[in-house]
A and B are shown apart, each in its own frame.
Chain A
Amino acid sequence: MFEKFRLGKRGENIIFTIFILIYVAYCLNSPDMSFESFKTVLTIGLSVGIIYGLVALGISLIYTGLDVVNFSHGEFFMIGAFAGLTMFNILGNQDWIFNLFPEAYGWIIYVICLFTAFVSMGLFGVFIERIFLRPLTKKGGGYTVAGMGIIICGFGLSVVLINVAYLIWNPVAKPFPAELGLPMEIGGIFLPITYVWMIIVGLFVAGGLWVFLNKTKMGLGIRAVAFSKDVSNLVGINVPLYISIIFGIACAIAGIGGTLVGPTYQVVVFMGYIILMKAFAAAVVGGFGNLPGAIVGGFTVGIFETASSFYVSGSHKDLYAFLLMIIVLMIKPTGFFGVQVKMKA
């Protein structure tokens, strides 16, 4: 009987437009609304959104490659932040870098930190996949009962990684004092330059991933494995190796995301959990398993969240991402870019 109430594509779009118009009208009526605040909201929203997008990208990549949702992905984000911070603490005391580049040493160190986080989290991800997830993926991946095992394994891994990080780095929030330059002026409002860094580096990473997937041979293999493991086997792709690579790339991107938020917020052991949940919302909004959709979903969630906390109510900041997810699931269950999703665990 529910068949009758299903909206066509047109109906979905109309209801979406109405929803957006109501929301925009509500925001415009808010007493805080001004062009300056709107610019602030846009910048912060985009910068937070690209972080959600990067983590969602990893979740979507792992979902297409391993057929499961990786619930420990937030912890890779957190450990990536710590990896970047550790590198920063090592390099920050070195005078020779300062002597070599007195003008730009702040961002050179930061780029090295980003690179460290990328490489170390990639290797760490491959290691985790080889040791903990391989026995489960061997049994058939996400389509079978083993898929449930991998999901539970993800939760367990999350707890283990948090506690290992707790042992190493303490639960105290640590500052990440990267010296990237003075705050930037956008239309009369001063914002830390790290917001711009987030957007630029995030888009650069996402674009790099797109080029890698579409222009290189390894990317071709990854897309093939993501679509069908059986056919990939038949054309001679080493499927287990490529699954490791997919997991490694997803974790490396999460690590970069962690290092990117480090200077703006702080680096805490428990930062991964809420990011994972919001990135999950972003992935759902964009269409689960769709990589451009993950970035668009991230932007949508980020802007919606920031705008709502500015114009609706600032005390319920963490609520809006999930509110948006629920609304999108109600109106358009496949997300913005989603195709009919395959049955996966």
Chain B
Amino acid sequence: MKVDKQSVVALLGGNGTGKSTILKAASGLIRSWKGTIEFNNEQIQNLPPHEIVARGLVQVTQGKDVFPAMSVTENLRLGGFILKTKQQLKDNLEKVFNYFPRLNERKDQLAATLSGGELQMLCIGRGLMSNPKMIMLDEPSAALAPQIVLDIFKNINRIRKDGLTVLVVEQNVRMALLLADYGYVIKDGVINVEGESKKLMYDESVKESYLGGTKANV
């Protein structure tokens, strides 16, 4: 599996097929038993998680993984934990508030009081705080209303246009393929189908692989 610079790659698959495990392995939360993970021509599979973040590879988890007892600003400041100077932190905060004006409105609120969509924005914003080169999104559309999903995907598109590489893990096949340049479909931990996202969109085997035999209505 390969993610080119400044592209958007979608990783698709049903429940329990190993999508999130790939992300966890890439960000160092779990050790891979075999195989290698390379980032910028450097093997990272044995590095501790904070070193991987320092190299510019950031995983954005689902919206529920924020620090609920801290304010929005504090959550974002944690995202920029590896930044050295306060000026960088301030610039990045402005950048994130530029992407998500909604967070600016609520910056002093506790994260626990945010809605699902705002939590997801907060998570993505937190990922962007550390000046990453590549972000890996774990199901940005999970448990959100269609309108908010659309909003978030528009923002992901903006992020990508600003020069970031994005790997997006999704169950919402249609949205992910609309956004992505290239797609991988994973089944039982093995890559089943891959190809340009436009082709995958009309590929019958994707529908089958995704829902395990039943035709998906994509």
A: residues with CB less than 8 A from B are 217, 220-221, 223-224, 227-228, 230-231, 233-240
Contact, CB under 8 Å: B49 / A220: no
Residues of A within 8 A of B58 (CB): 234, 236
**B85 → A minimal CB distance (Å):** 11
Contact, CB under 8 Å: A233 / B50: yes
Residues of B within 8 A of A238 (CB): 48, 50
Say yes or no: A236-B50 contact (C-beta < 8 A), given A221-B81, A224-B78: yes
Residues of B within 8 A of A227 (CB): 67, 69
**A222 → B minimal CB distance (Å):** 11
Tell me, yes or no, whether B77 is within 8 Å of chain A by CB.
yes
CA–CA, A32 and B82, complex, Å: 60
CA–CA, A240 and B59, complex, Å: 19
Residues of A within 8 A of B126 (CB): 235
4 pairs of A and B residues whose beta carbons are closest in the complex: A236-B53, A233-B49, A236-B82, A238-B50
Known: A234-B53, A235-B130. 13 other contacts (CB 8 A): A217-B81, A223-B67, A224-B78, A227-B69, A228-B67, A230-B65, A231-B67, A234-B61, A235-B79, A235-B126, A236-B54, A236-B82, A239-B49
Q: What residue in chain A is nearest B77 (Cβ atoms)?
A: A220
Chain B 58-94, CB-CB to A under 8 Å as 1, else 0, gives 1101000111011000100111011000000000000
Pick from A220, A228, A236: contact of B74, CB below 8 A: A220
In B131-180, which residues have CB < 8 Å from any A CB?
none
CA–CA, A237 and B83, complex, Å: 11
Pick from B50, B61, B65, B74: contact of A237, CB below 8 A: B50
Tell me, yes or no, whether B29 is within 8 Å of chain A by CB.
yes
Tell me, yes or no, whether B45 is within 8 Å of chain A by CB.
no
**B122 → A minimal CB distance (Å):** 12
Tell me, yes or no, whether B183 is within 8 Å of chain A by CB.
no
**A144 → B minimal CB distance (Å):** 14
Contact, CB under 8 Å: B74 / A234: no
Tell me, yes or no, whether B28 is within 8 Å of chain A by CB.
yes
CA–CA, A233 and B49, complex, Å: 6
Tell me, yes or no, whether B209 is within 8 Å of chain A by CB.
no
Q: What residue in chain B is nearest A227 (Cβ atoms)?
A: B67
Pick from B28, B77, B130: contact of A233, CB below 8 A: B28
Residues of B within 8 A of A224 (CB): 67, 78, 81
Contact, CB under 8 Å: B81 / A235: yes
Q: What residue in chain A is nearest B70 (Cβ atoms)?
A: A223
**B209 → A minimal CB distance (Å):** 29
CA–CA, A223 and B126, complex, Å: 16
Contact, CB under 8 Å: A234 / B59: yes
In B96-112, which residues have CB < 8 Å from any A CB?
none
